Structure 1
Amino acid sequence: MSSLPRPDAEVELPQEQMDSLLSIISSQRERFRSRNQELEAESRSMQQTLQVLQSELDSLRADNIKLYEKIKFLQSYPGRAGGSDDTVMRYSSQYEERLDPFASFSKRERQRRYLSLSPWDKATLSMGRVILSNKMARTIAFFYTIFLHLLVFLVCAEQS
């Protein structure tokens, strides 16, 4: 047999070794505890910084929308040329959304439903929009449908 001790057998260590192991483990535990406290404090400070920055960002966005509103008001006066600056364009959608939240909700909902359609449904919807948006296309589609119906009636009449 082997001379290895059994796992369930208790190994007796001298008291000096146990004390040294205990002191090593205690010092490690204290180091880990202090490092954990440092990391938790750093995490709390980062969370507070993040909250401050988020509130500042929200405040700046609100200020920008108010400034855009003032720009729109000033541009409504006659004799003023309305320039389309990138900064102005960036906040125009937010301004419009703030004016009519129901329209923006409707637009987002319509976009969500469109994205959930299958490719065939998207193609059909696009073709329908093209046909319905143009008077000439509607007229052509109407006469094409009449022509197809007459053709089917004539073929059915020939068969009977």
Structure 2
Amino acid sequence: MKPVFLEKIFRQHFSGLLTSFFTDRTCFYEVLRFSDVFYTTNIPIEEPEKFQYIWDSQKFGTNYSIAIMGKSKDQARQSNKAWLNFTTPDCFYYCPNDLTKCVPPKPENISVVVKPVMFSKYDVTVSWAKPVLQPTYFIVKAFKGNDHVLNDDDDTEEKIVEG
């Protein structure tokens, strides 16, 4: 996966802020990243006019929120945070139509039809739109309970449907 270049992102969205960050010769910047896990990284500024930081190996199709703020040596003085939200491209952006490298897209237009067949017994028909990229098979799982499904395999029924 191609790395996310913070310089490019910040220059697009915060060019005025970057200029003011660099003119005050901040000692270091603290960069915060939110996704599934929270990270804080202190970035020493060696060449402020060429500021660039690379987060490599980021996940495909993930929403991130990042913040950057300047800090002085005494840690008591810091700028306000400049925030940016972005999404990394999905796998198909780099490997179009390649299910050998990319995870199949999730099914769309899912619907359920419940038909009574005898007293307190029903047939449940689950259908979905035919995907543009056909996976080898689909797994359909039925969970007993409400919307908040916990990993309780005792109340799970699983069927494999050929693609």
Structure with the higher helix share, 1 or 2: 1
Structure with the higher strand share, 1 or 2: 2
Q: TM-score, normalised by structure 2?
A: 0.19
Tell me which of the two structures has the higher relative contact order, counting C-alpha pairs closer than 8 angstroms and 6 or more residues apart: 2
